[in-house]
Amino acid sequence: MLPFLCGVLGATIVIGSTITIPSLKQTIIKKLVTVPADTVSNEGEKNNSTNNLNTVAVSLQGYSDTSVGVAAKVQPSIVAISVEYSVNSIFSRNPQTATAKGSGIIISEDGYILTNNHVVTSSSSSSFYEIEEANKVTVKLYNDSNEYEAKIIGTDSQTDLAVIKIEKDGLTAAELGDSDAVQVGEFAMAIGSPLGLDNSVTAGIISAVNREVTDNDGNKYNTIQTDAAINAGNSGGALVNSKGQVIGVNTLKLSGDDVEGVGFAIPINSTKNIYEQLIEYSKVKRPYIGIGGRDLDEENAKRYNLVVGVYVYSVDEFSAAEKAGLKVGDVIIKADGTKITTIDELNEIKNKKQIGDTIKLVINRNGSEKEISVTLQEQP
């Protein structure tokens, strides 16, 4: 953060020192911020040039005040989470205890907290050890030295989200923003407990929106990318905008010798339906076809004398697919009238539907096309 501030301060000093040289000052400041093309000029005429630039300098004090205000507003809504696991190892007869740390966002005054699934559920294991389910989850509130034991309400590995709850009322619930309105370049602050340093804040900008990333387990997420520093322990914490509204749940970061400032957050709009279901059902109810599918590209389709699409290599017993008449060897080429070539495309269409809805599939079976209607079941 210090180099960034020094850079900003240095730029401010340069601009200030050239204030008596109008042409130079104008040139520097014009490179700072662009404005919409329909901005009205001083003469009252609308300028339709997309190259028009704003000449309003940004105050460093204003930036600082924004950061201070956002931190003060949001910190009371962010918690530090500690998790204890029992570890069975071939090197010890007795189970050992392992701990993990993360962050969470208070979403209700009566103690419900949104976090990441990987914060409270460990999938780490090997031939030498096995980690069991969490046997204790504790929460620390902002400016509160007490620890509160939490109950895991529900988890969802597909979205990497979870809800836990502590028995305490009068908490400060975070204000949720509109992640669909987030723009590249706008202010962003990450708040959480990186490396066990509770109530830490880092600031930057939104680097990208709708960024698809894949984690180590192969799960794909549509995320907001930011250069605000995100480290181990930030997971489950908040990414917030300049209004102090939560726009994302900090989840992933890239790391390595050549990587700096590349972190990702799950957009808050996409979490609402998930955490509501986790609170109500302790799980997420999803529509289910009941097949095992494999992407079939042009090369493999030609090799096996098939067509491009999703090859059905298994059909679950008593599933919606079996009831509808899908068979092993079918190639799904359309879903609800849309051509598909991958299982991800099929799932994207399916996941927009509700349990009990119908999805119309066009399949190729032995060289002939056939339409099959599948009534979606609840995923077991």
Kindly list the catalytic residues: 118, 160, 235
Within a 10 A sphere around the Cβ of 95, how many other Cβ atoms?
Answer: 14
Residue with tokens 């028995």: 167
Q: Looking at residue 52, what DSSP letter applies?
A: -
- Angstrom CA distances, 48 to 76, 77, 237, stand at 45, 44, 42
| Structural element, H or E, at residue 133 | strand 129-140
Q: Is 329 helix (H, G, I), strand (E, B) or coil?
A: coil
Alpha helices in the chain (DSSP H): 2-17, 22-29, 60-74, 117-120, 272-281, 298-303, 320-324, 343-350
At 66, which helix (H) or strand (E)? helix 60-74
CB burial of residue 322 (10 Å; 0-12, 13-18, 19+): middle
Q: Residue 305, SS3? A: coil
How far is 63 from 264, CA to CA, in rounded Å? 23
From CA 224, how far away is CA 209, in angstroms rounded?
5
Please give the Cα distance from 143 to 8 (Å, whole number).
31
236, 102 contact by CB (below 8 A): yes
Are 358 and 377 a contacting pair, CB within 8 Å? no
